[in-house]
Amino acid sequence: WVLMATARSPTNIAVIKYWGKRDETLILPVNGSISVTLDPSHLSATTTVAVSPSFDRDRMWLNGKEILLSGGRFQSCLREIRRRAEDVEDEERGICIKREDWEGLHVHIASFNNFPTAAGLASSAAGFACLVFALAKLMNVKEETTELSSIARQGSGSACRSLYGGFVKWAMGNKEDGSDSIAVQLANETHWEDLVILIAVVCSRQKETSSTTGMRESVETSSLLQYRSQVVVPRRLIQMEEAIQKRDFPSFAKLTCADSNQFHAVCLDTSPPIFYMNDTSHRHVQLCFLVYCICLFIRLLDYRNFQDRWNQFEGTPQVTYTYDAGPNAVLIAPNRKVAHLLLQRMLFYFPPPSEKELDSYVLGDTSI
């Protein structure tokens, strides 16, 4: 017999970034972080886990290709889930697995991403969240989502935030065993429905410096990271929570792009420096400011309350951006109207490539 469970988990985009670990084995961060979980129909991982007495070892396939399970992260997740496994009975098929039997059974895992792996779009977040959730279902684990988040964290830090929809906070915690380093939902997926998130895939190639290596080097060499984690982020987490609760887009937008900028500044402050953004990424940032100017201009056309409108507009971006460990832009607009304007400008800024250019893009980067 074979017993299976399938789960789908979306990716999440951090608006206050996690960068740096204080414990590499348990994956404990140097600061807390906040993210927004995307709609699973767009960027998600789908994982099927199967167990059978005929399996002689644990095996995994990612997007159809078998991968080696030598790393400790996968084993940590599997070990933690097995520890919490319960009895499973399927009377119809005559299957009965006692909780103590799980130790001797092996699993086969097949996982698919519907977006580029390791291109800085948090594929490991969706992947590990999905794996942990599917294993928990298969082994009849009864734990709360918070507990599952701390297991997913041991696969990949950002994965702990993908177990919830909406806005999620990963509290850094202080305990040495990591038991208080968990994710909690700040607001569910219906809380801020107007928000539109656009992802511009600039490059789908695997990044040169993985997040794990990059953050290790930053912890060892960047003094800006120390300042960021001890002084800047604690303050920003409070401000961001407030902005989300109040659906205050100007504050949300300012904090989001400021935090992305500082994260990439930490990467540049690392020795050797890490460059995740490229020229196309920088042009997307310019585009956000261009849209801001257009919105400002449109509003100012209403002369009646010129001074009021000017005051209200100053320093309040109408679209914001954030970049994870890669060049792909995540652009956030307060509503569909502004998102539409942004898309129009984007097509103007980055015209679709000609046939000839497309050929040369096959091995290289695309504009959008």
Q: Which is nearer to ligand DP6, 80 or 324 (CB)?
A: 324
The structure tokens listed for 314 are 């100053």
Q: Which is nearer to ligand DP6, 211 or 318 (CB)?
A: 211
Q: Could you tell me where the DSSP H helices lie in 210-334?
A: 211-221, 223-227, 233-246, 249-268, 279-300, 306-313
Q: What angle do CA 310, 314, 318 make, to 5 degrees?
A: 105
Query: Which stretch in 155-163, 175-183, 249-257, 265-273 sits in contact with ligand DP6 by CB under 6 A?
Result: 155-163
156 is a site residue for ligand DP6 (CB under 6 A): yes
Nearest residue to 228 (alpha-carbon basis) of 41, 19, 83: 19
325 is a site residue for ligand DP6 (CB under 6 A): yes
Among 158, 185, 209, 260, which residue sits at the site for ligand DP6 (rule: CB under 6 A)? 158
Among 9, 11, 14, 262, which residue sits at the site for ligand DP6 (rule: CB under 6 A)? 14
Q: Which is nearer to ligand DP6, 15 or 341 (CB)?
A: 15
Contact 14, 256 (CB under 8 A): no
328 is a site residue for ligand DP6 (CB under 6 A): no
Burial string for 140-152 (b: 16+ CB within 10 Å, else e) reads: bbeeeeebbbbbb
**Measured from the CB of residue 157, what is the shortest distance to ligand DP6 in angstroms?**
3
Among 7, 45, 78, 122, which residue sits at the site for ligand DP6 (rule: CB under 6 A)? 122
Strands 59-62 and 106-113: parallel
**Measured from the CB of residue 305, what is the shortest distance to ligand DP6 in angstroms?**
40
Q: Which is nearer to ligand DP6, 269 or 324 (CB)?
A: 324
88 contact partners, CB below 8 Å, separation of at least 6:
3, 95, 96, 97, 138, 139, 140
Residue in the shown chain whose Cβ atom is closest to ligand DP6 = 157
Which residues are registered as beta bridge partners of 50? 4, 108
Q: Which is nearer to ligand DP6, 121 or 338 (CB)?
A: 121
- Judged by CB under 6 A, the number of residues near ligand DP6 is 16
33 is a site residue for ligand DP6 (CB under 6 A): yes
**Measured from the CB of residue 145, what is the shortest distance to ligand DP6 in angstroms?**
18
252 is a site residue for ligand DP6 (CB under 6 A): no
CA distance 199 to 120: 11
32 is a site residue for ligand DP6 (CB under 6 A): no
324 is a site residue for ligand DP6 (CB under 6 A): yes
Contact 26, 178 (CB under 8 A): yes
Q: Could you tell me where the DSSP H helices lie in 115-166?
A: 123-138, 145-153
**Measured from the CB of residue 237, what is the shortest distance to ligand DP6 in angstroms?**
12
219 is a site residue for ligand DP6 (CB under 6 A): no
Q: Which is nearer to ligand DP6, 182 or 341 (CB)?
A: 182
CA distance 31 to 177: 16
**Measured from the CB of residue 158, what is the shortest distance to ligand DP6 in angstroms?**
3
Phi-psi domain of 307 (left: phi exceeds 0; alpha: psi -120 through 50; beta: other):
alpha
Tell me whether residue 325 is exposed, middle or buried, using C-beta atoms within 10 angstroms of its C-beta: 0 to 12, 13 to 18, 19 or more.
Answer: buried
Contact 365, 202 (CB under 8 A): yes
**Measured from the CB of residue 25, what is the shortest distance to ligand DP6 in angstroms?**
11
27 is a site residue for ligand DP6 (CB under 6 A): yes
Q: Which is nearer to ligand DP6, 17 or 228 (CB)?
A: 17
DSSP helix/strand/coil, 333: strand
Residues forming contacts to ligand DP6 in the complex (CB under 6 A) are 14, 17-19, 27, 33, 122, 124-125, 156-158, 211-212, 324-325
